[in-house]
């Protein structure tokens, strides 16, 4: 896929959640080959809607085609106590909130295979950084699947530190916990 320039990244609307679901399934499809495929592949549109209700989802478009997505949810430590859609929309529009020690959690980040290698993941992480900064949050955090060999090196190369591992499916290090500081 030829990408003529940077992606357009936006807050996904509620009507776009079926598209977010479809992109997630397409982006994670290659991991069906693992003995324990990602639980993302079993999620329904309703599961995506329930997760997004706690925060939001971004939608990345390049060359007129939707090519990536990620879900997120703010976790404020003091200060703001609501994670309403309105606050997120205001932060996406550029409004800045007071700094707290909170975290913007993201998950299910994916770029379609045909669009990989053009920096779209980096652009989505920059968008999440800016959102976290505007929400007054001081870190980005995620849990990523350890068995996908490119996950840990990808995030470490982008300034994330590995906080530790946790068990899933009886595998002691199935999940890698990562964090990167956001400078407000």
Given a cut of 70, the residues of the chain with pLDDT beneath it are 1-5, 78-83, 172, 184
Give residue-wise pLDDT tens across range 88-132.
999 999 999 988 889 999 999 999 999 998 899 999 999 999 999
End-to-end C-alpha distance for the chain, whole angstroms: 35
Residue 81: what pLDDT?
56
Q: Does the domain spanning 8-181 belong to CATH 3.40.630.30?
A: yes
Domain ranges of the chain: 8-181
Residue 101: what pLDDT?
83
Residue 3: what pLDDT?
63
Residue 151: what pLDDT?
84
Spatial distance between the Cα atoms of 103 and 105, rounded to a whole number of angstroms: 6
Radius of gyration of the chain (CA): 16
Residue 80: what pLDDT?
58
Q: Residues 104, 54: contact at Cβ < 8 Å?
A: no
- pTM here is 0.91
């Amino acid at each position: 896929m030829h990408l003529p320039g940077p992606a357009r990244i936006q807050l996904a609307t509620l009507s776009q959640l079926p598209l977010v679901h479809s992109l997630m399934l397409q982006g994670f499809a290659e991991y069906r080959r693992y003995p324990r495929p990602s639980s993302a592949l079993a999620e329904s549109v309703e599961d995506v809607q329930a997760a997004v209700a706690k925060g939001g989802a971004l939608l990345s478009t390049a060359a007129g085609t939707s090519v990536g997505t990620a879900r997120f949810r703010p976790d404020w430590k003091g200060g703001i106590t609501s994670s309403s859609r309105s606050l997120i929309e205001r932060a996406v529009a550029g409004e800045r909130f007071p700094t707290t020690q909170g975290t913007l959690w993201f998950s299910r980040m994916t770029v379609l295979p045909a669009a990989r290698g053009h920096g779209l993941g980096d652009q989505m992480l920059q968008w999440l950084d800016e959102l976290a900064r505007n929400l007054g949050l001081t870190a980005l955090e995620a849990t990523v699947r350890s068995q996908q060999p490119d996950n840990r090196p990808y995030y470490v190369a982008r300034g994330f530190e590995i906080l530790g591992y946790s068990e899933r499916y009886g595998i002691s290090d199935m999940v890698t916990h990562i964090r990167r500081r956001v400078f407000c």
